[in-house]
Structure formats: structure tokens, C-alpha cells
Amino acid sequence: MKKECIFIDVFTDIPYSGNQLAIFPDADGLNTEQMQKLANEINYSETTFIFNSGGPEADFEIRIFTIRFELPFAGHPVLGTAYSIMNILDIWPEKKNILKLQTRAGIIPLEKRNGIIWMTQKEPEFFGQYTDKKEIADLVNLSPEDISDNLPIEEVSTGINMLIIPVKNLSAIQRATGQVNSLNKFFRNKDSLAPYLFTLETMDASAKVHTRFFAPHLGVIEDAATGAAAGPLTAYLLKYDVFGRCFEIQNEQGIEMGRASKILMKGEIKNSKYMIKTGGACAYVGRGEFTI
């Protein structure tokens, strides 16, 4: 059996930057073991598989795999898969502006507007806060003094739980690295996936936050753009009124990796309800064929 695969760079309009994604447009006939082996072989942070059986409420079903295991939801794979269906692949005859993808975490609606794909994330959930700055700083090889005094360390989810860590400045966040042993120990019995660091100091004047995501305990040393963490960060920024109760900002990530990404984050609180959207451009890189 042979299966086509295409390659997309997500959260960028420039090929060979942003976050890499491999997509199998016709996954029918593949079992879980085969999909996991393909994801491991490609060795990107995530690989997605598209199935035609999206169900009555969705246009397609997708499954998302890291090199080690399947994820119920991840931001850049969902957004990049939507881009490929809307712009590259000839598998969706309807070609509407809103595409609904069935993930293991539920149906995710995506909208194409002015060349940008916008993903609506779930209503946020806020979990525990962490006050032991040394324990948290040790996860990413920083000192407690590098962690902000003005904002909390908090676990937030808009589909997947993330540990949001506010860092004082750009210099500190650029020194951060993932400490695999500490991360393994800290996250072993927790629902949260990994730490998402942010600072309000940026390299690009058009960006409002600078972020980094470390998950060597999951096989990802660092991620170039993390849409599943940008959603929780958007909710966190709304909750603590960092940019007001309604904003649209740019998040810069991946710069330290040489894969600069631009993640658009839109948030609003209205009538005690959160609206969380994550958006970005994508760039087509190429295609190939795998024998299974």
C-alpha cells in the first residue's frame, strides 16, 4: 500500500520557517500502529492523517500523532491540515469558508479570511496556580528571579492543558532550555502537557508576546509554533487584563530555533464568555509517497 504525504510549514508564509507539518490526505486503510510508525519515521513534532468519515457534524476526521503517541488536539496540525484541505488538496468539493474538523478532543471550526486560517478553540478552563518559583524555573533552566512577580504561573486549557509561565524579559526567555529530567518528574502525574513560556518583551515591534515551548520529555526538544498553547495563553492574557478585554495580537515563537513563526491571537470576554481564536498563514513545501 502506498500513501501520499504533503509537507506544510505552519504559522508562516515563508517556506522553511514556521512549524513543520506532514499530512496524509487519504488515511483510510491505515491502522493506529501504521500511523504511529509513519509519524516516527518523518520525525516532525506532529503528523496528521485525514479521514473522509467526519460524521454528520464535521467535514473530515483527523488524527494527530507525535513521534511517540497520539494527541487528542494540537494547534498547528489542525490549522495546517485545514490550510491543505482549503488550498492544496482536491478532496473537499464544497470549498466553503468554514471547515469543521473532527478531532479526538471534539469538532474544531476553522475559517479562511484574507489568506489567514483562523481556528476557534474551546472555552478555557483555569486550573491550579504554582507558587514555588524555584521548582518551575528548574524545569527550563532558569532562576526564580527570572519568573515574573506580577503575573501567576497557571495551568490553562482550551483543548489541552498547558502550564503558562510568565518570564520577566527577553534576555531570560532566550536563556531557557528544557530540563528533561525535571520535566519528566513534574509532568508525569499531571494533566498538563508542557510549559509555555512568555514575555511581553519582543524582538519584532509588531509582536506583543515572545514565547517558547519545551517538551523534551515528549520527544520535542523545542516547538517552533504551538497553537494549542497559544489558545490557553490568549485566555490567560484575557483573564489578567494584560491587553484589555478584547484584543488581536501577534505572538512570535521559534526565533531561537531559526524557524520564526507568527501566531495571531484573538480574544474577547463578553457576557462572562471567552472567545478564543488562533490564526496564521501557511506555506506549501512539497510532497512525497510512503510505502506501508
CB-based contact 289:24 (threshold 8 Å) = no
What is the H or E stretch that residue 180 is in? helix 180-187
State the cell numbers at 73.
488536539
Report the 10 Å Cβ neighbour count for 271: 4
Based on C-alpha coordinates, what's the Rg of the chain?
18
User: Is residue 68 helix, strand or coil?
Assistant: coil
Which residue, 24, 34, 18, is CA-closest to 4? 24
d(CA 177, CA 65): 24
In the set 4, 46, 252, 268, the catalytic residue is: 46
Cell of 243: 491587553
* Other C-beta atoms lying within 10 Å of the C-beta of residue 96: 11
User: Phi-psi bin for 218: left (phi > 0), alpha (psi -120 to 50), beta?
Assistant: alpha
CB 28 within 8 A of CB 51: yes
Catalytic annotation present for 46: yes
CA angle (87 as vertex; 83, 91 as ends), nearest 5:
95
Query: Active-site residues: which are they?
Result: 46
